[in-house]
Structure 1
Amino acid sequence: MKPISLLSYALALFTTFGCQAQPGQAAAPRVGVAPGYSHALPRHALVGYLHNFDNGSGVLPLGQVDGSWDVIVLAFADDMGEGRIAFNPAPGLERARLVADIAARRAAGGIVVLSFGGELGTVTLRTQRDEDNFVRTTAQAIDAYGLDGIDIDLEKIAGVVHGAPVAARLVSAVKRLHAMYPNLYVSMAPEHPYVQGGWVSMEGIWGAYLPLIDGLRDELDLLHVQLYNNGGLPTPYHADPLPAGSVDMMVGSARMLIEGFELAGGKGRFEGLRPDQVALALPSGPRAAGSGHAPPAAIIRAFDCLTRATGCDALKPARPYPDFRGVMAWSINWDVADQGAFSVPVGTHLRQARAGQ
């Protein structure tokens, strides 16, 4: 992340892509860290989604989230049509309190971002007008809530398939936002068929995120591909799909993202990302997702395998990747409901790893 000037800080606090925040929106924070300015990620980070809807785990004020989470992803923004988005806190969660909690978390060195998508979430991006509206209203949300950046978590319902306009429009829109906020944090959380699935097919949803990832390599801070709710992972390393929740699946998925892989049908090659741009993504517990849960001990072994080549099962990386970024969990809400069963062991291990390197 690049430092920003005092002038940029002042402009970020008071302007929004030429548009002032609308009446009724929360005022931009007057203290703390400028909107769109993200601290550098710790070498090994724990990322979690904080969802603003009750799916059995309850809703949770951000201020009650403990400090073990380095990045908090607010899930999800609402699609207001014609490219416009808005973030509406869940009933019972006060907007003013959320703004204050975000400012406090960021002042303490944390990162807070807004996610688009989810299982039922969409973003309307078909035309230039849609893209302009998306950029304008996303900037308004960044300024109104004092956010560090954005996360892209579009799934099947959002129509992300090869040839759909949403991918190209997102690339253009994110580049425009990044130009407005040079330190904008950008992450993605696609399901694995959309990414590593390009090794199997380059039709429909299979590999459909790859053009988006390629188009935003320079802007992308972190890619955490969901290793849940989609069964085993086909890889070049084994004849059968690697079982969900296994150490080999986690290691194999990260190897493909870092070391690259050939695309199906002779359609080229996905060139790997930097290790610091990649993290594992697992459910925080058995209740957090339909499938794919991995015990914390297995997640820790996969992380050690990737960073130090220890604790591996059958698969090993081509070499250790000591800068491999960390682990993402869906979700913070479920982890709190499970009394920290994920964040305590995994978060503690990540902090110990970065303290020892």
Structure 2
Amino acid sequence: MTIRGEIGSYSLSSPQDAQQVADYLWNTYLGGQSSTRPLGDAVLDGIDFDIEQGTDQFWSDLAKALAAHNSQKKVYLSAAPQCPFPGNGVANQLLPAVREGLFDYVWVQFYNNPQCQYGSGNADALLARWNEWTQLNTNQLFLGVPAAPGAAGSGYIPPDALISQVLPTIKSSPKYGGVMLWDRFFDQQNGYSNAIKGSIN
């Protein structure tokens, strides 16, 4: 089982700062050693980058520094960038690092951005951006969608529309990894994963 920790909004000031953060994460949560490990003997398998604020600088440095520990223990790296392509401002802080192919999994958030999400029964904008994301140097690419109308500000796709309008196209990509739902609470309330699980592979 893979268990990852998540980095939220944060700004890195330099490559040296990125290295210090990587060392802290390795020693405190991953395979390193520290006297202040908050999870005790538990060891996380990786780190998820969910950066929506701050600058877009030095995330590649952080990912490279974390991946440098792979010779000791595999560190899985995942990213949850927003769907605008190319990103601008805080809309997509991770695009430069994603372009470098540093992540094992990329869960693109196809919601809360009208220019690249499902809307008014139409999936054209979403599919156009998906095709652009597949051109990047990524490994497995996941379609991130809200699990219920209340899970995000916009971009909810009814399960039947996902199955009929979106999945047939995106599953043709060799980079397709599956569907990411935000979030588990809303999924349990709405039954979204149960409705689509027979169609995602």
> Which category describes the TM-score, using the shorter chain as reference length?
0.7 to 0.9
State the number of aligned residues. 190
Separation of aligned partners in 2, 1:150 and 1:168: 13
- Alpha-carbon deviations, 1:195-240, whole Å to 9, x = none? x135xxxx6446653321123x1x421112111112222xxxxxxx
Whole-angstrom distance in 2 between the partners of 1:228 and 1:244: 13
Structure 1 position 255, deviation (Å): 0.7
| 1:112–1:298 CA distance, 2 compared to 1 (3 A) | farther
Q: Which residue of 2 aligns with 1:197?
A: 86
Where does 1:229-308 land on structure 2 (aligned, <5 Å)? 229-233=112-116, 243=119, 246-258=122-134, 260=135, 272-273=136-137, 277-301=140-164, 302-307=166-171
Could you say if the C-alpha distance between residues 283 and 206 of structure 1 is closer, same or farther in structure 2, counting changes exceeding 3 Å? Answer: closer
Q: Which runs of 5+ in 2 are unaligned?
A: 32-40
- Residue in structure 1 matching 2:49, options 139, 152, 170: 152
Amino acid of the structure 1 residue aligned with 2:194? V
Per the TM alignment, residue 327 of structure 1 is displaced from its structure 2 partner at its CA by: 0.5
For the pair 1:349 / 2:194, whether they are aligned, the reply is no
- 1:228 maps to a residue whose letter is Y
- 2:6 touches 2:48 (CA, 8 Å); kept in 1? yes
Contact 1:186–1:221 (CA under 8 A) maintained in structure 2: yes
Q: Give the structure-2-normalised TM-score.
A: 0.79
- Per-residue displacement from partner, 1:54-100 (whole Å, max 9, x unpaired)? xxxxxxxxxxxxxxxxxxxxxxxxxxxxxxxxxxxxxxxxxxxxxxx
Structure 1 residues 128 and 332: CA distance shift in structure 2, 3 A: same
Which sections of structure 1, spanning at least 5 residues, go unmatched?
1-105, 234-240, 261-271, 308-319
Alignment of 1:206-245 (within 5 A): 208-215=93-100, 217=101, 219-233=102-116, 243=119
How far 1:305 sits from its partner (Å)?
Answer: 2.0
Matches within 5 A, 1:321-332: 321=173, 324-332=176-184
Choose from 334, 340, 354 the match for 2:186. 334
Larger radius of gyration: 1
Shift of 1:128: 5.1
Q: CA deviation at 1:180?
A: 3.9
Structure 1 moving runs of 4+ over 6 Å: none
Letter of the aligned partner of 1:281 in structure 2? G
TM-score (norm 1): 0.47
Structure 1 CA distance for aligned equivalents of residues 120 and 69 of structure 2: 35
Q: Deviations over 1:305-343 (max 9, x none)?
A: 222xxxxxxxxxxxx32552111111112212x15x211
Higher relative contact order (CA 8 A, sep 6+): 1
Q: 2:25 is aligned with what amino acid? A: T
Answer whether contact 2:99 2:137 (CA < 8 A) is retained: no
- Give 1:184's match in structure 2, choosing from 75, 81, 88: 75
Q: What is the Cα-based RMSD across aligned positions, in Å?
A: 2.7
1:131 aligns with 2:18: yes
Q: Quote the Cα distance in structure 1 between the aligned partners of 2:163 and 2:55.
A: 32
Q: Which residue is 2:66 aligned to?
A: 174
Q: Secondary structure at the match of 1:348?
A: coil
DSSP-derived class of the 2:194 partner: helix
